[in-house]
Structure 1
Amino acid sequence: MQTVLSAVLPDMPRAAAIWLSLLGVVVVAVAALLLRPGRLRLDPAARIRNAAMPSDLEQAQQEREQSRYAQEIAVAAERATATAQRRRAEWVAAQETVEAAWQALEAAEAGVRRLGAAAAMPLPQTARTPAEYADRERYLHRAALDAYWRRELSVEQLSDVFAHRDGWDPRLHPVEQELVLQRAIRDNLAARHVAAQEREQAAWRAAELAVAAARSLREEAHAATGRRVAESASVLPLSEVFRPSVEQTRENTVVARGRAAVPAF
């Protein structure tokens, strides 16, 4: 027994020192956990986010690509806006042409009604001589030429006048010739009004498409700029992407007949 105690007792201080050291380490670790509990806490979301975060090189490349895309979309939006403004100006000009053609047609209709009432009255009797017929023919040619230079007759109608076809009779009384001429002017202006309406409709459709394309590109440009700002603030944007509201535009005060106004930019 003495031999065992004599063998163990010399090692007791060393063992006590080791146990005290271990106990001190445990106390320090427990104290650290109590003072700062979140230091050693496991955060799976943070670990996943850190693992999904791109490297600095990848992040810089993404930012450059996003910036280049935003610049290209902005340039395309500016060009589309200029195109929409040009198309709208063309539509307004076509609208004014339709209105002018309508007013000219209304004046021609009034002239036909006035001359129709005058031709219904008894016409003065004149001697039917070769000289009288020659005067009537010269009068018809001169009146038709004047109407052509006023752009009231087409070149085809003027050709019919000089060829004495399609109802053009130089032997008629000047009042009757004036009525035939005025009816031909009315028909030509009516066809011109229809053609102007068709051009106005085509210009309106082109302006509507150009405005829609410009609006879409402007929204995409704003969205691309918003995405670039959001990505520079947070590498992994989890919320909504910034999208500004569409700018309200003022409608044109001039509206075509049966046509909605194309908004101005």
Structure 2
Amino acid sequence: MESVLQAFLSAVPQATAIWLTILLALAVAVAAAAVPRGVHAPEPATEENRFAALLEAEAAEAAEAAARRRAEWLAAQQAVDETWAAYEQASETTRRMAATTAFPLMSRRRKPGDNIDRQRYLHRAATELCRTQDLSIAQLNDVFAHRGWNPRLHPVQQEAALYNAVREHRFEAYRQAVETERAAWRGAEAAAETLRGLRADAAAARLRGPEAEQADQRRTEQWTPTELPAAA
């Protein structure tokens, strides 16, 4: 009886070890099955891709700058359309006013205060047009100084001259808007070209091996800003 009991007790540790081994193998198999296929743990940042990451950060900043330049160009383009529409409207008004002065006005003896009234009308009308930005400040100063303006003309003639000045002012605004739009276009194109270059450099840096990047870094460190080789 004692020999049977001793044999049983001596076999218990071996059986326990076998069962623990089986359970551990099952746990490993279950854990391996739970991991999705094709998913790899992210690689830690290394010295090799630091240069590429720097270029990508610069490209992100360049993308924001390019977006701002494009928005400025679109706003400038809209300003060109608006100033041209205002010029066309001023031109149409000028043509209508010119038609009203095609027929000669009846001449009569002026009353003593007529010239004063006509001058006040000219000043008042010019001030209102300047308030609505149909005349510039410089043009308004010319009106009050009577530089190129005759304050004794009939109000109909004065109004025709005023709207002719409005047309000139609107055309000058259109010309300036065109120049601004062209400058904004050049800025947007330069920003877009910079962005394309940085993105291409970043992609190339990602594709190149670490040895090429280290060689570039060594070449950069060899030349100081005053010793850079001249471009061929």
- TM-score, normalization by structure 1: 0.60
Letter in 2 for 1:137: Q
Alignment of 1:1-265 (within 5 A): 64-125=46-107, 127-166=109-148, 168-227=149-208, 231=209
In structure 2, C-alpha distance between the alignment counterparts of 1:171 and 1:198, rounded to whole Å:
38
Per-residue deviation, residues 126-161 of structure 1 (Å, max 9, x unmatched): 541231111111111111001101111111110110
Deviation at 1:125, TM superposition (A): 4.4
In structure 1, C-alpha distance between the alignment counterparts of 2:193 and 2:132, rounded to whole Å:
40
1:252 alignment partner in structure 2 = none
Identity rate, percent: 45
2:37 alignment partner in structure 1 = none
Unpaired segments ≥5 residues, structure 1: 1-62, 237-265
In structure 2, C-alpha distance between the alignment counterparts of 1:146 and 1:115, rounded to whole Å:
18
Other structure's SS at 1:66 match: coil
Bigger RCO of structures 1 and 2 (CA < 8 A, at least 6 apart): 2
Letter in 2 for 1:72: L
Letter in 2 for 1:175: V
Other structure's SS at 1:170 match: coil
Deviation at 1:220, TM superposition (A): 1.6
In structure 2, C-alpha distance between the alignment counterparts of 1:124 and 1:92, rounded to whole Å:
52
Contact map agreement 1:66 1:224 (CA 8 A) in 2:
no
Per-residue deviation, residues 7-43 of structure 1 (Å, max 9, x unmatched): xxxxxxxxxxxxxxxxxxxxxxxxxxxxxxxxxxxxx
In structure 1, C-alpha distance between the alignment counterparts of 2:48 and 2:169, rounded to whole Å:
58
Other structure's SS at 2:152 match: coil
- TM-score, normalization by structure 2: 0.68
In structure 2, C-alpha distance between the alignment counterparts of 1:126 and 1:193, rounded to whole Å:
42
Letter in 1 for 2:95: R
Unpaired segments ≥5 residues, structure 2: 1-44, 213-232
Deviation at 1:64, TM superposition (A): 3.8
Between the two proteins, the alignment pairs up a number of residues equal to 168
In structure 1, C-alpha distance between the alignment counterparts of 2:65 and 2:117, rounded to whole Å:
56
In structure 2, C-alpha distance between the alignment counterparts of 1:132 and 1:200, rounded to whole Å:
47
Bigger Rg, structure 1 or 2: 1
Letter in 2 for 1:205: R
In structure 1, C-alpha distance between the alignment counterparts of 2:143 and 2:94, rounded to whole Å:
18
- Considering only aligned residues, what root-mean-square deviation do their CA atoms show, in Å? 1.8
